[in-house]
Amino acid sequence: MSVRLRPLWPLVAALVIWYAQSTWSFTPEQVTAGRTAYEQNCSSCHGANLRQLPEALLAGREFVAAWGSRGTNELVDRMRTTMPLGNPGGLPEETYAAIAAYVLQFNGGGNNGQLLTARTTTRISDAVTSGAATPGRAPAVPAGRTGITVAGTVPNFLPVTEAMLRTPKPDDWLMLRHDYAATSYSPLTQITAGNVAQLELAWMWPMREGGTNQPAPLVYNGTMYLANTGGIVQALNAQTGKLIWEYAVGAEVAPRGLVLYENKLIFHSAAAWALNKQDGYLVALDARTGQQVWKVQMPDVYASNSGPLLANGLLIQGMGTCAIYEENKCFISAYDPATGQQRWRFRTTALSGEPGGDPLEAKRSPCAQATVARKGHRSYPRRDS
């Protein structure tokens, strides 16, 4: 027996060593602190899923491929000497270590309760089991479940006119910030400093699990229009909280800003926020029934988390995340509310090669500067904000 077992010992020893190395040294407290610091200093560019910048993925297979053979000290060092972009070294050393701990845990690593420091040299791949490192993306909307999912009709609907949008009735809220001056102020007077303490819960309506969530519902003539998470658009009776109709887009809806105009509810939608190119849509539903009126792909428009605004008979849409995809940066564009066809585009800065284009490059965002720098073009000093 002992003769047969003996040859296994080296293997067992190797497994013990492998196992000992496969737990990263960091503490749960570091992960918590690292997450907060990441959200404050890094996620605006790298995203909550750590995968918003395709060229600097901090989670997933690509991250492991790029960093696996290096030590955690190198990762901390890289963060400390180059990040946050525009302010390298701007955080305390232990904060960089904590962010590294958060990144390692996000990639599937378990902690062993030992403090990760700038000098810890654990090999990064040692903690990543294959397949563990799937990006933390919001769950996709179930395939096939698109179109009207609850049928109903908004009673007494009258078309929304531009005059109404310009001078909204006190009990309506017809655009993201209430009015074109973006006051976000309701002129209603029933609730006062004297009676606010008597407010009671009238009804509750759940937001769905998963997806992004920064809802800004509209209210028109007693009906509330809500972009719920996961691409679900709903019309509710604002008095009772009862669902009138529901429409599943099959993609995310830009969480800020719906347009109500004439008989339509119009919004921006993109399949996977900031991850795929050529992916932005405008969708118009019949505000009375939720039936789709049109859906168009917006030429060269990517994701945006702001929805359109109606002004002077056109839908005006800004863009986001363009710097991720190309050197030609975002533009503002306008669409026909009747058909969704693009009418014009406007770039707020001249492009390189156009008159006045090159000096203005200095005004590009730090993200863009880095992209340009990496591609071998000139890079520019950071503007002080």
78 vs 347, beta carbon nearer ligand HEC? 78
Distance CA 126, CA 64 (A): 10
Question: Residue 297's beta-bridge partner residues?
Answer: 281
Decide: helix, strand or coil at residue 296: strand
Give the whole-angstrom CA distance, residue 97 versus residue 155: 58
Dist CA 359 CA 10 (whole Å): 65
In this structure, the number of other CB atoms found within 10 A of the CB of residue 122 comes to 22
Q: How far is Cα 160 from Cα 78, in angstroms, rounded to an integer?
A: 54
Q: Is there a contact between 280 and 303 (Cβ–Cβ < 8 Å)?
A: yes
Instruction: Tell whether residue 334 is a contact of ligand HEC (CB under 6 A).
Output: no
Minimum CB–partner distance for residue 96 and ligand HEC (Å)? 7
Q: Which of residues 41-60 bind ligand HEC (CB under 6 A)?
A: 41-42, 44-46, 53, 55-56, 58
Could you say whether residue 83 binds ligand HEC (CB under 6 A)? yes
Measure the CA–CA gap between 35 and 19, rounded to whole angstroms: 26
Determine the interface stretch with ligand HEC among 81-89, 137-145, 149-157, 279-287 (rule: CB under 6 A): 81-89
Closest approach of ligand HEC to the CB of residue 314, in Å: 32
Contacts with ligand HEC, 243-262, as mask; x by CB under 6 A:
--------------------
Query: For the window 87-126, what string marks contact with ligand HEC as x by the rule CB under 6 A?
Result: ------------x---------------------------
Residues near ligand HEC (CB under 6 A), total: 22
Query: b/e map of 285-311 (b: 16 or more CB within 10 Å)?
Result: bbbbbbeebbebebebbbbbbbbbbbe
**Binding ligand HEC by CB under 6 A: which of 15, 65, 66, 338?**
66
Query: Of 55 and 93, which CB lies nearer to ligand HEC in the complex structure?
Result: 55
Stretch that binds ligand HEC, among 5-13, 221-229, 302-310, 362-370 (CB under 6 A): 362-370
- Residue 362 binding ligand HEC, by CB under 6 A: no
Which of 116, 301, 367, 372 forms a contact with ligand HEC (CB under 6 A)? 367
Among 85, 236, 254, 259, binds ligand HEC (CB under 6 A): 85
Q: Does 82 bind ligand HEC (CB under 6 A)?
A: yes
Between 36 and 114, name the residue whose CB sits nearer to ligand HEC.
36
Q: Which residues are registered as beta bridge partners of 261?
A: 264
Please tell me the distance from the alpha carbon of residue 385 to that of residue 241, in angstroms, as a whole number: 44
- Which residues, other chains included, contact 68 with Cβ-Cβ below 8 Å and sequence gap of 6+? 123, 124, 125, 128
- Tokens 């302010």 found at: 87
| Enclosing H/E stretch for 232 | strand 232-237
* Residue count of the chain: 385
Chain residues that interact with ligand HEC, rule: CB under 6 A: 41-42, 44-46, 53, 55-56, 58, 66, 78-79, 82-86, 99, 366-367, 370, 374
